[in-house]
């Protein structure tokens, strides 16, 4: 029964609409988008200095990167940072679990999907916020985080990572540290960016790659966040 309901919701989402239906839906969507921004701004403005942790929803408990995300989040709380995640399972759950263990702020920005994601149990009761729109959710990730830590993930993780890099590169937001965890996972991507995007096609500027820092341990990841804020003031990005 549950699978049938999921299939019906997916079919409904792709059902052909008339132009009048599209216009009506778009008009109401504006109000929904506004309400998500208002709620997000109101609740996120109270959380204090936090670091966003990204990574795959498919990472299983007990695996290398799950344990690493949990350790990073715990150590962030011991350095007076809260933790923001996407609110779901996998790396996100590990991040919230580590923050909870460290008695720090544990925020979950959940996305409503027709299947797969649900809020994990380690988010503070008053800090789980659900969104229908990915782009609203991404604003909250960037606007209210003083740093990004990205562990191995899929398209969603890459989307969030490159959104952050683009905003810094184009000076649409203040500079903040972006830490990639896992040399085995990220080094191939970084080499391709260097060899093809920068050296071959000249589509980024020399030094743009320096916006990302590659590490392998929880201590290194947290140290990079601390090193940045030993030189820069801890203040909002926007």
- Closest residue by Cα to residue 110 from 96, 120, 95, 100: 120
For position 52, what pLDDT does the model report? 97
Residue with tokens 């959380």: 47
Asked which of 21-25, 137-141, 200-204 is least confident by mean pLDDT, the reply is: 21-25
Q: Does residue 2 fall inside a structural domain?
A: no
Query: The CATH number of the domain where 34 resides is what?
Result: 3.40.50.450
Q: Does residue 11 fall inside a structural domain?
A: no
For position 112, what pLDDT does the model report? 78
Q: Does residue 152 fall inside a structural domain?
A: yes
Domain that holds residue 131: 16-231
More confident of the two residues 14 and 160: 160
Q: What is the mean pLDDT of residues 149-154?
A: 98
pLDDT in tens, 44-73: 999 999 999 999 999 999 999 999 999 999
Q: Does residue 178 fall inside a structural domain?
A: yes
Q: Does residue 67 fall inside a structural domain?
A: yes
For position 238, what pLDDT does the model report? 47
For position 128, what pLDDT does the model report? 93
For position 173, what pLDDT does the model report? 87
Q: Does residue 238 fall inside a structural domain?
A: no
Q: Does residue 80 fall inside a structural domain?
A: yes
State the average pLDDT for the chain. 89
Instruction: Name the domain count of the chain.
Output: 1
For position 84, what pLDDT does the model report? 97
pLDDT over 60 (residue 236): no
Q: Does residue 214 fall inside a structural domain?
A: yes
Do 145 and 109 touch, CB atoms closer than 8 A? Answer: no
Asked which of 24-28, 40-44, 134-138, 205-209 is least confident by mean pLDDT, the reply is: 24-28
pLDDT in tens, 120-135: 999 999 999 999 999 9
The confidence band for 169, taking pLDDT boundaries of 50, 70 and 90, is very high
Asked which of 109-123, 124-138, 156-170, 195-209 is least confident by mean pLDDT, the reply is: 109-123
Q: What is the rounded end-to-end Cα distance, in angstroms, of the chain?
A: 46
């Amino acid at each position: 029964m549950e699978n049938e309901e999921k299939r019906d919701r997916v079919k409904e989402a792709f059902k052909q609409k008339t132009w009048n239906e599209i216009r009506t839906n778009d008009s109401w969507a504006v109000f929904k988008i506004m309400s998500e921004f208002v709620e997000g701004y109101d609740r996120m403005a109270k959380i204090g200095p936090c670091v966003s942790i990204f990574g795959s929803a498919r990472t299983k408990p007990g695996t290398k990167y799950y344990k690493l995300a949990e350790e990073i989040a715990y150590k962030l709380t011991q350095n007076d940072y809260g933790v923001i995640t996407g609110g779901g399972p996998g790396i996100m759950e590990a991040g919230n679990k580590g923050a909870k263990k460290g008695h720090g702020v544990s925020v979950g920005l959940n996305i409503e999907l027709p299947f797969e994601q649900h809020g994990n149990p380690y988010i503070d009761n008053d800090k789980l916020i659900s969104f229908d729109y990915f782009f609203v959710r991404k604003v909250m990730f960037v606007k209210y985080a003083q740093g990004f830590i990205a562990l191995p993930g899929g398209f969603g993780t890459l989307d969030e990572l490159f959104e952050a890099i683009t905003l810094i590169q184009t000076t649409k937001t203040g500079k903040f540290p972006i830490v990639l965890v896992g040399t085995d996972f990220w080094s191939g991507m970084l080499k391709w960016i260097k060899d093809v995007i920068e050296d071959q096609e000249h589509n980024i500027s020399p030094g743009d790659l320096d916006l990302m820092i590659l590490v392998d341990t929880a201590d290194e990841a947290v140290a990079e966040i601390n090193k940045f804020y030993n030189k820069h003031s801890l203040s909002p990005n926007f």
